[in-house]
Amino acid sequence: MLVDQIIHGINEGGIAPFYFLYGPESFYRVEIIQALNQKLITPDNRDFNLENFEARESSVGDWIGAAKTLSFLGGTKLIIVRNLNETTLEDSDQKTLLEYIADPGLDSCLVITADKADQKRKLYKKLTTQQGALLCEAPQETGLLTWVKSRARSFGYNLSSEAARKMVDRVGAKPGILAKELEKVMTYAGKENKITESMVGELVGEMKMENAFLLTEALKEKKAEKALLLLQNQLNQGEDPIKILGLIAWQFRTLWEVKHYQGQKYGVQKIAKQMGAKPFLVEKALQYTKNFNQSKLREGMKCLFEADRELKTSGRDPQGILEALLLRICSG
């Protein structure tokens, strides 16, 4: 798929001075812009090297001026102009834009997006024939199967053909949703390399499992009220309290391990090697480790063991046990 080739090229440093990303599938536009951000923009240069414009609220002069202005800190500037289709450019502005694209600055990358591009209009006819132009639309089923398997492989997972087909069958031609569902399945697979059809059958499109993952995300964000509501939804749908606790415990243990190695100043790859896990899982956990210190994580693990024992032996109301657990994890 062309979008994957473009992203690979960006990651390897092959960045074009101009991109025109057009079409109805916003997911691909987001993916490419995110890749450019990760390659070109750092916390130190963000204020100098990144400029965002809404087409209808700015002018061609603004975009070209930003592209031609050298960065104070050096490096390649990233200028993003969104929703060109929501404005109409004067002939003089069209001429200015096309002249710049024909001879762009080498120290900047100009990205223009549009949901629609009427190629009967002169401007769009010119833009869509540029080297950096990409039609963003969902591929046919065969292309989707190849894409989702390739995406899983890029994270270190083997998605079987049967699993890929079941995923596409359940989600449809929606790459953005497919990517989110794949992330959910990879998280569930954990240290396992292979994603099977049965995993996809259990997770993709199943509201109970969707709520379970939302519950663990709420816990990692320490959002007690949201976590309690999602727990109630889970129990109302008949989910097994032991299964809910197991998913929470697995996610929490991953956080604890990542936090431990993070404290030793290990990078993502080294943490993944120590844990025998995929870098994807480590990167995901690192988004939340700042919410917990080591002592809080140790206390959380202790609470999980206590909740497991109570659920299995005390005869107490499972909902009460789990609610107390969530509140203890989210406190402090």
Long-range contacts of 206-210 (CB under 8 A, 24+ apart): 207/237, 208/234, 208/237, 208/238, 208/239, 209/184, 210/184
The DSSP secondary-structure symbol of 222 reads T
Q: Where are the domains of the chain?
A: 2-135, 141-203, 207-330
CATH fit for domain 207-330, picks 3.30.70.260, 3.30.1390.10, 1.20.272.10, 3.90.110.10:
1.20.272.10
CATH fit for domain 2-135, picks 3.20.20.140, 3.40.50.970, 3.40.640.10, 3.40.50.300:
3.40.50.300
Task: Output b/e per residue, 294-325; b: 16+ Cβ within 10 A.
Answer: eebbebbeebbeebbebbeeeeeebeebbbeb
Mean pLDDT split into 10-residue runs, the chain, 332 residues: 80 90 90 92 89 93 91 87 90 92 90 89 90 85 84 89 88 83 84 85 67 79 88 82 86 88 90 84 86 85 89 86 90 70
Asked whether the domain spanning 141-203 has the same topology as the one spanning 2-135, the reply is no
Q: State the pLDDT at residue 211.
A: 67
Helix axes 26-40, 2-11, angle to 10 degrees: 10
Reported residue count of the chain is 332
Nearest to 86 by CA among 22, 29, 134, 174: 22
Q: State the pLDDT at residue 210.
A: 62
Q: State the pLDDT at residue 24.
A: 87
In CATH, what class is 141-203? mainly alpha
* pTM recorded for the entire structure: 0.63
Query: CA-to-CA distance for 26 and 257, rounded, in angstroms?
Result: 36
Show the CA angle centred on residue 169, arms to residues 165 and 173, nearest 5°: 105
Identify whether the C-beta of residue 211 lies closer than 8 Å to the C-beta of residue 180.
Answer: no
